[in-house]
Amino acid sequence: MMNLKAIIDELKLQYQEHEDLEDMLNDLNANDYIDHWASKLCEDEFNNNTNLARNLFEIEETKCDDADSFISLAETVADDEKLNDKDWAKKLLDRAYSKVESLDELKSLANAYLNILGDKNKAITLYKATQEKLAELSDYNSLIEDINNELQDKKWAEDIINSAVYNLQNADDMFEFAGYSSAITQLGQFIGGEDYLNKQDNAKEIFDMVLLYEGITDLLDGARAVKETYENSDANYYQEYTLKSLEKATSFLDDGYYCDVYNFIKDDLEDDEKAKQFKDTYIDEMLNDHEQYEGCEELFGSSEDEDEDIDFDNFDDRKNIVAFSMTYILDDVQELIEEDGKYTDKAYQFMQEKINEFTADLKYKFEDNVLEDIYLSSHNTKLYKYNGDLQDCCKDIDWEMNLYLCFTKEIPSDTMDKVFLDMDSYGFYAYFKDWDSDNIVTQGYDYGEYNTGYFSEGPDDCYINTLDKNYTEVEKEFGFLE
């Protein structure tokens, strides 16, 4: 293996006229983005220089320190447009196995053996090892998806579903085993869904468990899943279920939820008369929700100009990182990805346009109290500096990415929340500083409405300091954390 200095010297000789040479040398001299430039060297513009690329990938291997990083590198070196080296990829995956520390990593490794090497037997062995360690319903659901969709083994998926149902029904504490109600809802969809078991009668007893929850969002989301599953096949069950959900949700009504229930009646149940009755009964509470949480805009008008009253000059200067999950914003890009998972030029263009649009709107809302540099990460394993051209800077990024920006003001969390709610053209999750508690809080925003999170659900531990490892790395990149 050539050392990095020797590689840099060779690059200077071979590509002295190349327009990217300066950027390449800056990164490599800083020991950064080695895998990116190794991948670039495999392209036509660098004359498919797989020899130097291989040496850079070998250096990248020395930097791998966890299962995910080994898996990511294995996927890259096995790519037939890069090194197409399946033997090396296998060695990397074997090393990844020794670094596995979680069920998610073990399952990801199984997927890697299957999708990178086509090693179905090894994948099955690892899936079985994963199955033996299942402890929570969300773990069962995740494995069911992979067995059904990746391995396409319907019988095995059914066995795991049956095991999940048994453990759910016989748990000492159903709520502890299930966690969020959405895990039970997903299990019901596996049982009743056409792509899985398609046993709708059996799914009913699982969906009925969601009615045991006492959260308004839990009840309404459960009813929406039942509508999706049964509206065209069992209208009686669907109607009975949604009425029970609505009745129980109404019994727990509290500030912040009146507009949610109204919208459920009007949009999901499509019952204008009942929606009018609800509005007439709770008009004052709905107006309060609108003023406090910006709901019911179709009734009371949009508050898109309210953020103009915020004087950002009143806030102290202090740099801080805000992270955003872009999954919902970029969801439609899946239609532009080829069946083998390769991203088309149109896919990159779509993601690029969405990122540019979102960040431009964000900077406008916060009156440019945001630095220009943008960082991206994919599955919390790799950090990229975005230069406006995804194919140039971040070709290995995928649509399930996080975006990191540096804000320059100590903006109170309730003000941040207010502005994010006002960005009603987007669905996203934000991770930002609550200066009173000195925690990073998580809140989801669904096109001007709340999704789950710190402000909508309360200060639950699952919405506090749920940071990925790149958050601190971005702070270092912006130069205010040693």
Give me the chain's average pLDDT, please. 91
Amino acid 149: pLDDT: 93
pLDDT of 17 above 60: yes
Task: Count CB-CB contacts under 10 A for residue 118.
Answer: 10
- Are 411 and 310 in contact, with CB atoms under 8 Å apart? no
Burial degree of 309 (CB within 10 A; 0-12, 13-18, 19+):
exposed
pLDDT in tens, 69-112: 999 999 999 999 999 999 999 999 999 999 999 999 999 999 99
pTM score, two decimals?
A: 0.63
User: From CA 394, how far away is CA 377, in angstroms rounded?
Assistant: 9
**What are the angstrom distances between the C-alpha of 263 and each of 10, 220, 231, 281?**
64, 10, 18, 15
Amino acid 209: pLDDT: 97
- Are 179 and 138 in contact, with CB atoms under 8 Å apart? yes
* Cα angle value 209/211/215 (rounded, 5°): 120
pLDDT in tens, 236-290: 999 999 999 999 999 999 999 999 999 999 999 999 999 999 999 999 899 888 8
pLDDT of 303 above 70: no
At residue 305 the predicted structure's pLDDT band, cuts being 50, 70 and 90, is very low
Amino acid 380: pLDDT: 52
pLDDT in tens, 406-440: 999 999 998 999 999 999 889 999 999 998 888 89
| Mean pLDDT, residues 346-355 taken together | 88
pLDDT in tens, 433-482: 998 888 899 999 998 899 889 888 877 788 887 766 777 778 887 776 54
| Mean pLDDT, residues 190-196 taken together | 94
Amino acid 459: pLDDT: 77
Task: Count CB-CB contacts under 10 A for residue 458.
Answer: 8
pLDDT of 311 above 90: no
Task: Count CB-CB contacts under 10 A for residue 338.
Answer: 9
Find all residues with CB under 8 Å of 263, minimum gap 6, and list them.
295, 296, 449
Q: Give domain limits for the chain.
A: 310-477
Amino acid 76: pLDDT: 95
pLDDT > 90 in the chain, percent: 71
The percent helix, strand, coil of the chain (3-state, each to 5) is 60, 10, 30
Amino acid 480: pLDDT: 63
Amino acid 306: pLDDT: 47
pLDDT of 68 above 70: yes
Task: Count CB-CB contacts under 10 A for residue 343.
Answer: 20
At residue 381 the predicted structure's pLDDT band, cuts being 50, 70 and 90, is low
Amino acid 286: pLDDT: 92
Closest to 178 (Cα-Cα) out of 141, 152, 215, 205: 141
User: From CA 27, how far away is CA 239, in angstroms rounded?
Assistant: 60
| Mean pLDDT, residues 126-151 taken together | 96
At residue 308 the predicted structure's pLDDT band, cuts being 50, 70 and 90, is low
Amino acid 388: pLDDT: 86
